[in-house]
Structures are given as structure tokens and as C-alpha cells.
Structure 1
């Protein structure tokens, strides 16, 4: 079981406050041709030699600069040659990692007159002649020739894939490997949402206990501790609410995450906070989910308080649907407090079904289950109470979870992971956590972080607290990274394939649906943009048009303001660069929410970006 720490207080790198750090922004409405854009597109492998970066920053190799300086001065190299030297070393390090001393590589580059291919052959042939071998050797493919080089002790701790000079990673059949890894079970990311005090944590904590994920000794400990704290009924909630503040206040504050299994699924469970003060954290959890459980309180007056104006039931339902969740299980909780009355259950489902249909859910994709989180009734086995069985013949909660259909994973698209948390590793490097939205990753691969447009190496991958060699779209992982400073990474940064990078922007166009808002939305309206794990101040720069709800056709150009229920096209500007994708290319990375004064006022999808074609390279 793991919990994402609340790191939203992280300061973004101050380097990104001024737009002049970045390359030219496309201000016009027309597109630049590929040939023209090529000169602005950033590529670490093809960057001009005059902008070569220090090796110490790139690889964490303390003597890199000193070694290069020493050879530069002794060989009387010009500034251009010095840059060519660093560029060659950059490419060689991608192939050789740390298996060859920096000094040896520098000498090989100079002897080969800055020919990387010849330098690699020279280094590897020298290693072969010296017969320097260890128990662990790494086959490196250079051209069509396979060479053998020594592997360091640090590399030996993590299985590293073969690196090819063709710059493509070894292909694996991701779908076949997923079936092998999961024993034929399908992966599903589930978020639990609902109004505060609806009993979400208690419900799921009891379900985990009944499944055997929490042993009796631990549960007994929670029961004793909750009694001492005067919160005896919160014992099962403590399974997921692990922090002292959450237990003291009796509310979930951040997204708790754990894993359990059903007959056909492996479930990653995210328990989202229900209190209105923690809606941004709830959005973070919902953005990473495939399906959801909406928990409502069946008690008289409590359901109405959560469902009417000011409650979070409606807002949570709108949020998860806007963030791409289409399948929903509604757990009508605390039914034991109304004596399992069928009339009360029917009253609640009638109100909810009408609202959820308006929110965009299909009736066939929504199921209603009467439950008791505290008593454990109708959770993992069908209810035994005669008051329930005489009128309810449907699934229990676990059966309903098992019946969810997993979404299509974008494993064939370029790698994308949005950072949800960042923390220091025990050894060298640091760790980031998040859900892989597209593609797959293997240990030893190079990654690009946007922002800050820096590369690093994936030294290790952890999935459900277990080290793995690879992970794919849909997996919630922890990556151990080296070759980059931790202070450059923030929550919301996107790791991607360096050869197919995500482009950052501060301006983009979007189609939005306006929710209930008391203040008309006008040009210059300040909002808070919620995108994946990002929470970024933004301004509505332009109101472009009002669109027809069904056809999407423009009904009014350049409106003066927008009100509740309208579909519109707008242009947004963020204070700092954010890494977004067009909705048509990456649905997972093209959705966002807009909030104002503590309320969600709109949901939208990105239709056009005004991108920075390249960062200003460091000298």
C-alpha cells in the first residue's frame, strides 16, 4: 500500500517564469511547415555542438568537466572542437553508460578525430584486448557488430536492456507480456469518490479486510487505536487513511492507493478525498482512473445534503465523467441505518439516474448496489440480511467491480507519464511516481522531462512495490531516475520519449462545457487549470465562439460572455509552460478542468496549441 504525499507546495523552477528562456512562440493562427519547424525542434542527439552541455550535469559524473578540460588544454582544442568532444561523449555515454572510464572515451574521441562510430569501436576493441571481464557483461550492438563491454557494479543491480545504435529500443510484445505478468488478469484503475462522510474509506477498508489484504492482527490494532481516539467507527477507514492528520480529523485529505484482486482483474484502488477543500486532490486521483465507485449516504437528510447545492456528489460525478470515466458503480452506503428499505433505495437511485444521464453516463454503464461499509454487508459476498434479499437480487460490490470492462490502452503510442509525486531515493538519483498514460518503458531507457527539457535515465521501475524490468500504459509506477537534479522536476512534469517529445505551451485553444457558475465568464477571467496532476493559474485570453451542443457548429462568434450550460471555444493562457497534448492525439492528456473560487466551472479538451518549438539551449 502506498500513499502519494501532498507535494503541491513544490516551487516550480524559477527559470521558467520568463518566456525569454524558451524558443520562439508561434503567435499566428497558421501552421508552420515541417521543414521550417525543423530548425526549432529540440533534439538532444542532433543539437548543435556549440551548445553542448557539461557532462557532470547530464550524467552525474563528477570528473567529466575536469577530464574534458584537461584533454582540451593538452591538445590545444578550439572552442568548437571542445564542443564536438562533449557532443561525441554525450552519444557514447548513451551506449556505454558507465562501463568505460571517461578518460578512455575522451582519448578515443580525439584519436578517431571526433568520429563517434570509430571511437566506440576503438574503446570496445581495447576492452577486448585487455580481457577485462566480470561475471556480468553487457552486449552492446554497434552497427551490425556485437561488442562486449564491462558492466559496473551499480548497473548490475538493475537489469539493463541492450542498447542499439539505431536509437530504437528492443521491441517487446507488450500485450503478450502483460498477460504473462498478470496471470491472464486485466488491469483496472479504480477511484472511489463521493461527498464527505459518505463512508468511502470505511467501505473500501472493510472490503480490503474481507479480501484478506489486511490481517486480523492489524485490524485489531486499528480497532483499539480508534477506540482510544474516540473514533471507534473509523477503524476500517484507517486502513486507507494512514496519516495522523487524516485520522485525527476523520476525513481523507490525499489520494490513498493500494492494490487488490478479483477473479478476473487486478485493481489499483485510489481512495479520493470528499471534502470540498481537497477537490484538487480528488481531481488528481480521478484523472488517473479508468472506472469509479460513487459512494452516497442513504441516511435521511445526509443523501440530500450531499446531492443538493453545496454538496460534492454532483460535482464529483461531473468531474469523473469529464475526465474520461464512463463506467460507474454507485454504492448506496449505510443502508442498514434505514433498515434496508427498498423505497429509500429506489428514491435515491431515481434522483441519481436522472442526474448521471445529464452528466453523460449511459444507463447501461451505471450500476446501483445497496451496501453497509461498517457492517460489511453486500461487499464481497451477496447480502444475507432478509430485509435486503427479499427485494435485491443483483451483484455485490466486488462482483460489480469484477464486471467492469478495462479500457483500450495506448501501448502503441509514444511514452508519456505525468508526475504525481517526486522524492529522494535512498541511493543515487531520485524517484517519481505516476500513471503511464501511453507507451511503455524499460529499465535503462533514456527519458525526456517536459518541462524542464532535461534528459535522464530510468535506473529502476517499481510496480505495486515490486521491482520490474518494464511497465506499460495503465500501470501506476515509481521510477528511479539518474542523470538529472531533483530540483528540476515538479509535480505535473511529463516524462516522454526523447525521440517523440511532448511540446510545452503557455497558450492553447479548447472546447469547453460551462457548468454552474454564478459569475458570467468574460475575457480576462482568472481560473485554476487542473490537468492530470497539474494545478496551474491561467487566464481566459479570448472567447472565440459559442457552439451548438449537439452538432458543434458555431452559433455565435466572439461572444461577450459565457454562462451555464454553454459549449464554447476559448483560448487560455497559463502563467508557466505546461505539457499538454491535443485531445484527438492523446485523449488521456488532452482533458482538463477549470475551477474558480473553490468551484468547478468548466471542463474542456485541447484542440490547438501554440507551442514552443524548442527551448533555448544552454551554453
Structure 2
């Protein structure tokens, strides 16, 4: 037993502060000091100007905050109390910065008083004048309407016309008939030269002129004044003086020169007087008019009373009928009829209005930026045509493996040996690669066409190429090996019938690849439905074709692939060298490789059996790429037919947009064709669809059997990592959408599929589980479709939709 004693400390709340530890007992010296400070603060507050009162509790609380500092406490309390006093006082009204222009009063506001100091308003009364505002347009006649415009003559106009006629008959002159709205004067009479002598005085002649002006009819003086071209509107609008009578008011208007108008009050024996007014100047004649009034009706340009409706052929009685054809329509229809075209029928007022609206709505629905293309279909029986065809069997294989395993170089060598690329292009690639110091990448550039891929020396996107042997037409899908581009690798694996796994046999490279993307790629292709895999052990020349190294790699990879779900008879190993070209199309001539007597890589590929596809199932095709095919084909899509068949001229439906399109032409393996079936790589040139409705990952189907669009699904998956309700990315070919695992339904038995545990909280790696996945947007998915779930840059699960 140790000689050191250990004290047992308890952390209960009751034992932390005992009453006997002395913490609760106050210090008398400290209390006395606080009381002294409180007294000093209160005295200073009362002695201040103005005095401030505060409670003892407030002072002690402030002293505690300021550590018993008396001056700071006094300043704080004084400021606090002053703010409280200001808040309680009512807010005073703002005093204007400048004195008011006039003393405030409760009297009514006076504009004259407000503008009393404006000097430009103090105008003497004798200099003020009346402001006469002329009307914007003259009146078109009396209120009763003009006879020329189809209106009924009013009683006032009839009385004025009767009085005018009576006065004309009494005076013996023959005035010209004047309509109420027609700006025409009476017939002029020029006095004889012998009457113009200077025998009369100026007063008598002025009195004679005033006597000549007639008394107009009541209510018709405005019409007479407006009907005289030489009469100013402003002069006719002047008010008569109050001393004059109402009958003398029209006499203020100056008469027109040379015009003799008989008066009702003029005696018959009175002789006409002499007009002493001078002739108008040339300028006045040009502006106002000629001295003599023309006999014909004056133009509207020289008239003050303008009847625009009468001038342009319209009137008030007959409004324009907008339901009928316009004058322009009549002229255009007549011109089209003369040229041999069918004239446009005019819309009726009532019967055809609804019909015209319906046609307009139908025309709007058919509007399009581009003219619709009509493609005539040949109506072929595609399945019969496929049976009759003598094409070679086709196979797609995806090339997978860890980054820098030599996948692109190996496939470039394979294409060069099969004469799929000419020697001139290879020499060009070698020269370009040597310029940037990457001469060993010349063969990889056969598939890596992108500038970024060539500069980085890493495959980014999938690349496809084709070559043919005596029995089979192969399509290579070169997938990227970098972990950042696994979604592109999944898109390539979804188009493959079998896989070629490339492994770097160099010392240390194989081990790092096994921990890296080698296992993930193998699991992915198995999850995507690939059953056959060819393992190409590359770069054997770097280890001098060591047989022991090859057998070690074969043992580890075969055990892993068998665990992943591949059958032993579907796994094959080929040692090769992509850079040297050994055991790819021809056997290696290196003496160190004499121990290998198996088939070459191309021979192993040809052993693949033809794969069957759902030819009689509904059409399904996942869009891999949307591009412009050329001038003749402005919109094209590429991909692989998953099921069904199609031909030129078919109407297809794209989901999830729901837009229809017409197949303008079909290309199978870059060759024109009239039809295509499942399993073939096709390019469809489309028409009658906007490119905005097409995206990579969309599904092409038929309107009669569309693929459903869903936002959640239940899947049976194999867990590669621990699964729980979490955010994931859903991958299906080119489709890539975010989602989340919302529910773990059950953990299943691998062999029987029976539920082992319902609603588990977490699923471990290697376990088969049924999960519910929800997505933020609707995507085209249907069972049984293979999907991959990824999270955090790694694959967490893969499986089938149920």
C-alpha cells in the first residue's frame, strides 16, 4: 500500500460551498469602506449643479461595477439621471432658423400678402392688359350641326338664315348663299369712283361705315365673325364696354375692305359712303389673303373655321366601322386578286369573331422560331431488318484501372496495331509530344484529344474509338482513372458489355493502385452489370517479365474479384506491355517472356460472346452528349440504345422535359443508317425541338410508352461504406443528381434476400440493404435500373431499383 494518502473530492453541489468555509460571512472592514464611499457619492450628487438624487442601492451597485471608484460613480449616476430627466420632459418644437416672412396669424392665407415683396408683380394698372387665349381649334359649326355633314339644321340656324334672306331682299343686293359652317362671304360691292370724293368729313364717313355693318342674328355673331377670313380671333373676342348696348356689341368688329353689307336700320334713300381705308400691304396680303374674295369656296388652308371631318370625307353621322375591312385591306385584296393570289377574307361583325379568335389561338400555338421540318418515314419493320442484316457482332468494353496504369497508351497501341489509325497521324503525335517533353505519351494522345488532357497527361472524360477484327466490331470506352473523375468513369461503364482492367506491375505501383482506384473501379463495373473482365497486367517490360510478380498479382486480383461477385470462368489475365506492343496483337519476342503461352489481348477480347439486348422492349436511350452535327444537322445527340428500336422519321419524347422531336437521320457507328436497335451506339440528328430541352442524362423514349419521372425510389444496394440517413449523389450513366438516404428499410441476406433486421440505424460495409432515396428534382428512372450512390468523393453503395 502506498504511503501517500489521496483525498476523495466529491463534486456534489451541496459540498462545493459549505456554510463553515467562511465565504458567506461578510468582511466588516469592507462593509465600512463601502458605506463611506456611498456617503461621499450621495453628498457629491446633492452638491452638484443641478442636484441629483439617487437611492442607496443604485449607488452601491455602481460602486461595485467601478470597483469603489467614487469620481467615476458620481459621473455615471449624474449622466444617467440627466438622461432620464430629458426623456421625461416634453420635446420642444423646433425653432425656425430664420424669422417668418410675415407674422403668424390665424387669418386665411393670402397669396397677395405672400408675394408682396416680388417687384415684378407691382405693375401699374394702366399697363395691365387682358390675356386672350385663343382656342386650339375653331368650332366646326353651330350646336345643331351643319347640313353638309349630315346633321339636322337647328332652329337658331334656320332663323338666322331666314333673317339674312329677308334683309337681302329688302336692300336689293343679292348675297351669296352661305351655310352656317361654310367660310364664304357675301357678294362684294365696290363703290363707284365718284363717291370717293373728299366732300364728306371724316366723322361723317366714319359714321357711314358704322351704319353699314348689319345687326346679326341673335346667337350667330360668332359664326359670322369666324366665317370672315380677314377677321382676327383676338379682335372678335374683345368685350364691349359696359356703356354700349348689347345690340351695338357686334359693330366693334372692323368690316372687311370693300365689303358692303346692308343694314336692317339703314333707310333706302341713304347713299353708300366712301371707304377711306388703305389697301393692305404685300406682306399682309400674303399672310391674311388677297384684297378680293374669290368666288369659289376657299381652301381649308386659308380658313379660320376648319371642318377636318368634312375635308377628309368623314362625318359625325356615320362613324367608321372597325368590324369591316379597312381601306388598306380593300386595296391589298384588290392587288392580290389582280396578281392571281387568293384575297384575304374580311372578318364578319358577329358570326366570324369567335372563329377568328380560335384561329388566332391555334396559330399562336404553332409559332416557332424555326420552320417545322417534315421527315417522311419508310415505315420499316426494324426487327425484321435487323434479322436480315449481315453485320458483324458488336461489343463495347470499358478500360478501367488506377491513374497512370497505362490505359490510354495500351489502347492507342491496340488501335495502331489494328490499323484503326494511320502512321502519319502517329508520327504527328510523336513530334508534338516530344516538343513538350512527353514523348512516351504519343500513343495515349490517340484517345486523349483534349488540350487539357494532353497538357496534364491525365484522362478527364471518356473517349470512344472503334476497331474491327475478322469477327467482331469493337468500341473502346477509355475511362479516366483519377478519383476526381469517377462520375465520368461510371458513365463509360454504363455503356460497356465487359471490362478491361489495366494494372501497373511496377514495384510499388500495383500496391498503391490496389489501395486506390483499382478496387473501386472493379466494384463499380460489377455493380453496373458487367460480368466478364479481362485483367491486362501492363508494363511487364519494366520488371523484366518477372513470372513471380505476375503470379502474385494474379493471385491477389483474382481473390478480390471473386469476392466482388465475378465468377472465376469470367476472369482472365494477360501480361503485356503497351509501350512496346508485346502480347497485345502479337506475341512478345522478348526471351524473358517465353514462359507465357496464353492468348494475346486481342484474342482474349474476341472470345467475348454476343450479348442479347431487349429489342422488343419500349424504346430507351440515355443521352450521352448534345452537339451540333453540321450545317445540315444543327442539333444532334449521341448515346447507346438501352432497349427498343427506332428509325428515321420517328417521333420521340425526351424526359423529363416532356418535349417531342422528329428524327431527321440516324447514324450507327458513324455510318448513315435507316434504323437502329438496342446495343448500338447511335447519333440521332433531330428536328422540331429546342436545344434547351436536351441535356446529358435525359432519356429518349416514345410518347406511347414514356419513362416515369420520380423524386424518390426504393433500391436494393450493396454497401461499400457505412450507410445511414445521409446526403448522397445518385449516378445512373450520365445522370448525376443530388439526393439523400431518407430511410434504411432493412438489412437483407445476400443469398436469399430475406430481411435480417428491420429499420437498422446503420448498415456496415459489405451488407446488402434496402434503402429509400429521395431527390430534389424529378428524374427519369424505372426498375430495374442500376444506380450508384456516392458521398464525399467515394462510392458508398450500388444496386438496383425495385
Q: Same fold (TM over 0.5)?
A: yes
Q: Separation in 2 of the partners of 1:511 and 1:321?
A: 15
* Other-structure match for 2:609: 405
* Other-structure match for 1:544: 745
**What secondary structure does 1:307 align onto?**
helix
Contact 2:383 2:615 in 1 (8 A): no
Contact 1:72 1:82 in 2 (8 A): no
Alpha-carbon distance change, 419 to 72 in structure 1, aligned in 2, over 3 angstroms: farther
Q: Separation in 2 of the partners of 1:552 and 1:87?
A: 56
**1:592 correspondence with 2:787:** yes
Contact 2:395 2:475 in 1 (8 A): yes
**1:603 correspondence with 2:798:** yes
**1:76 correspondence with 2:353:** yes
Map of 1:238-317 to 2, 5 A cutoff?
238-308=445-515, 311-317=516-522
Contact 1:415 1:496 in 2 (8 A): yes
* Other-structure match for 2:772: 571
- The alpha-carbon deviation at position 213 of structure 1 amounts to 1.1
Deviations 1:130-161 (A, max 9, x none): xxxxxxxxxxxxxxxxxxxxxxxxx5xxxx42
Q: Separation in 1 of the partners of 2:351 and 2:759?
A: 66
Deviations 1:91-124 (A, max 9, x none): xxxxxx856xxxxxxxxxxxxxxxxxxxxxxxxx
Q: Separation in 1 of the partners of 2:383 and 2:767?
A: 46
Contact 2:373 2:687 in 1 (8 A): no
- The alpha-carbon deviation at position 82 of structure 1 amounts to 5.5
- The alpha-carbon deviation at position 313 of structure 1 amounts to 0.4
Q: Separation in 2 of the partners of 1:72 and 1:195?
A: 78
* Other-structure match for 1:486: 691
* Other-structure match for 2:316: none
Using CA pairs under 8 Å that are at least 6 residues apart, name the structure with larger relative contact order, 1 or 2.
1
- The alpha-carbon deviation at position 70 of structure 1 amounts to 9.6
Q: Separation in 1 of the partners of 2:527 and 2:658?
A: 30
* Other-structure match for 2:384: 173
* Other-structure match for 2:439: 232
- The alpha-carbon deviation at position 466 of structure 1 amounts to 2.0
Residue 377 of structure 2, aligned match among 161, 164, 173: 161
Alpha-carbon distance change, 455 to 70 in structure 1, aligned in 2, over 3 angstroms: farther
**Superposition CA RMSD, Å:** 2.6
Which protein has the larger Cα radius of gyration, Structure 1 or Structure 2?
Answer: 2
Alpha-carbon distance change, 83 to 581 in structure 1, aligned in 2, over 3 angstroms: farther
* Other-structure match for 1:414: 618
Residue 392 of structure 1, aligned match among 582, 592, 596: 596
Contact 1:273 1:279 in 2 (8 A): yes
Alpha-carbon distance change, 78 to 568 in structure 1, aligned in 2, over 3 angstroms: farther
- The alpha-carbon deviation at position 334 of structure 1 amounts to 0.3
Deviations 1:475-516 (A, max 9, x none): 11111111111011111110002111111101111101100x
- The alpha-carbon deviation at position 86 of structure 1 amounts to 7.7
**What secondary structure does 1:572 align onto?**
strand
Residue 463 of structure 1, aligned match among 662, 668, 679: 668
- The alpha-carbon deviation at position 341 of structure 1 amounts to 1.2
Deviations 1:260-284 (A, max 9, x none): 0122110011110001111110110
TM (normalized to structure 1)? Answer: 0.70
- The alpha-carbon deviation at position 76 of structure 1 amounts to 3.5
Deviations 1:380-406 (A, max 9, x none): 1222222212x2111100001111112
**Mind listing any 5+ residue stretches in structure 2 that lack a counterpart?**
1-343
User: Going by fraction, where is strand more abundant, 1 or 2?
Assistant: 1
**What secondary structure does 1:420 align onto?**
strand
- The alpha-carbon deviation at position 208 of structure 1 amounts to 0.5
Q: Separation in 1 of the partners of 2:360 and 2:501?
A: 58
Contact 2:714 2:773 in 1 (8 A): yes
Q: Separation in 1 of the partners of 2:502 and 2:539?
A: 10
Q: Separation in 1 of the partners of 2:353 and 2:378?
A: 36
**What secondary structure does 1:419 align onto?**
strand
- The alpha-carbon deviation at position 471 of structure 1 amounts to 1.1
* Other-structure match for 2:566: 361
- The alpha-carbon deviation at position 445 of structure 1 amounts to 0.4
TM (normalized to structure 2)? Answer: 0.54
Alpha-carbon distance change, 221 to 89 in structure 1, aligned in 2, over 3 angstroms: closer
Alpha-carbon distance change, 74 to 207 in structure 1, aligned in 2, over 3 angstroms: farther
Q: How many residues align?
A: 454
Q: Separation in 1 of the partners of 2:732 and 2:356?
A: 43
**What secondary structure does 1:603 align onto?**
strand
* Other-structure match for 1:383: 588
Q: Separation in 2 of the partners of 1:453 and 1:410?
A: 24
**What secondary structure does 2:353 align onto?**
coil
Of 492-501 and 70-79, deviating more is 70-79
Deviations 1:519-538 (A, max 9, x none): x4222x10010111111100
* Other-structure match for 1:25: none
* Other-structure match for 2:723: 521
Alpha-carbon distance change, 317 to 73 in structure 1, aligned in 2, over 3 angstroms: farther
Contact 1:383 1:396 in 2 (8 A): no
Map of 1:553-568 to 2, 5 A cutoff?
553-568=754-769
- The alpha-carbon deviation at position 357 of structure 1 amounts to 0.2
